[in-house]
Structure 1
């Protein structure tokens, strides 16, 4: 669960794997969720059509999971998908994003259920899905400047927003539209705004001919 103590200076964001920053264009960003490592594993499977099981003629099978917990005990969501072989790179990106967000929503939903909701309020926290999406783009476009383009602010400003508007876990966000707050903090609540263009270039594929979930 993200706390005030996790807030770091935005200028340090690019070199960190963990921490919480506030940005002018993407709102709160959890650097753990924005870490590209998880999405990169998914992308490499799809890009290379890596599979150890043939789904059916013309399809390959991949697995993707998101987990929480400690090294010796983890729980989470794991799903399998059949993906059409021979898709173009751009088509594979749309499938990868669809699968990534599908599992992300399922993982956040898990955290809102008993018994996890007795210990954490992090399910669909304000920054979760937006941060996940940033992590996905960082995996797909490793040379991009995604965190910098979100325009991180100083730790002092981020702390003032937290102190004025409260914990991110108390603000639920079921979409990838970020919550933006006035700088400096003022009266009124957050505004839900569309994503910046650089986080909308890839459109998620719909379940159908390109891919489907394996039950």
Structure 2
């Protein structure tokens, strides 16, 4: 769960693995969600399958939230797909995007449900899904995108926070930016959806299941970890 103390200066974003920054293009960005390590891990599993001997291989993708920073107790959502070997890299990217998007939606719904919503406002927080999507593109096409996102200073970001309130108060169930216009320019402004930059629209999530290329084995799995780290699901969130 992002709080006011999570806000950092936009100039720190390229060298920070955690924190909250504000972009005039993507709105609030959770740098923990936007690391892209989950996608790199998923693509690595696919690469192992592609170099195997079987005609088909299975991969899983999941997101987990932990009770606190000790990560001793956690719960999350996951999916498992069976993929026909011989996929091109663009096809693997398409499959990975579909797996991430479906699981992220279910994970945010889990966070937004009782009893988790009693403790956190993180479920479908304004920044969550767009940060996941940003992390996907950082993973598949590594680049320093931050100079193109019009990040603002910590002081300016805190002014947005203080004017509009926490981003968790605004539920965003779309993989689109929810923007919070500068109140110094228009004190009557309200949050509004923006447009994704072109580089974040170049991959389409996989949908052609009739082709036999991929099939869903587990669509809405739930994992619980008590005093253990997950063996398959490596994406960790702290609500």
Q: What is the TM-score normalised by the length of structure 2? A: 0.83
CA contact (8 A) 1:129 1:174 kept: yes
Residues of 2 paired with 1:194 and 1:106: CA distance? 23
Q: Does 1:214 align with 2:211?
A: no
Change over 3 Å in CA distance of 1:122–1:61 after alignment to 2: same
Q: How does 1:180-191 map onto structure 2 within 5 Å?
A: 180-185=179-184, 186=186, 187-191=188-192
Task: Report the aligned-residue RMSD.
Answer: 1.8
In the TM superposition, residue 49 of structure 1 has moved relative to its aligned partner by: 2.2
* Kept in 1: contact 2:79–2:99 (CA 8 A): no
Q: Give distance in 2, aligned partners of 1:51 and 1:173.
A: 39
Q: Give the direction of change, closer, same or farther, for the CA distance of 1:108–1:53 in structure 2 (3 Å limit).
A: farther
Residue in 1 that maps onto 2:57: 60
Equivalent residue for 1:129? 129
**In the alignment, what sits opposite 1:145?**
144
Partner of 1:9: 9
- Aligned partners of 1:50 and 1:100: how far apart in 2? 19
Contact 1:60 1:85 in 2 (8 A): yes
Q: Give every structure 1 segment of 4 or more consecutive aligned residues whose post-TM-superposition deviation is greater than 3 Å.
A: 50-54
Single out whichever of 66-75 and 124-133 deviates more from structure 2: 66-75
Unaligned runs of 5+ in 1: none
> Counterpart of 1:197?
198
Residue in 2 that maps onto 1:83: 83
- Unmatched 5+ stretches in structure 2: 219-239
Q: How far apart, CA to CA, are the structure 2 residues paired with 1:90 and 1:53?
A: 21
TM-superposed deviation, 1:211: 1.9
1:146 deviates by: 2.4
Q: Which moved more, 1:184-193 or 1:21-30?
A: 184-193
Please report how far the alpha carbon of residue 207 of structure 1 lies from its aligned counterpart in structure 2 after TM superposition: 5.2
**1:112 Cα deviation (Å)?**
1.1
TM-score normalised by structure 1 residue count: 0.92
Size of the alignment, in residue pairs? 211
8 Å CA contact 1:22–1:158 kept in 2: the answer is yes
**What is the CA–CA distance in structure 2 between the aligned matches of 1:33 and 1:154, rounded to whole Å?**
20
Inter-partner Cα distance in structure 2 for 1:62 and 1:207: 18
Greater mean alpha carbon deviation, residues 109-118 or residues 147-156: 147-156
Tell me the distance in 2 between the aligned counterparts of 1:11 and 1:102: 32
In 2, are the aligned partners of 1:68 and 1:74 still within 8 Å (CA)? Answer: yes
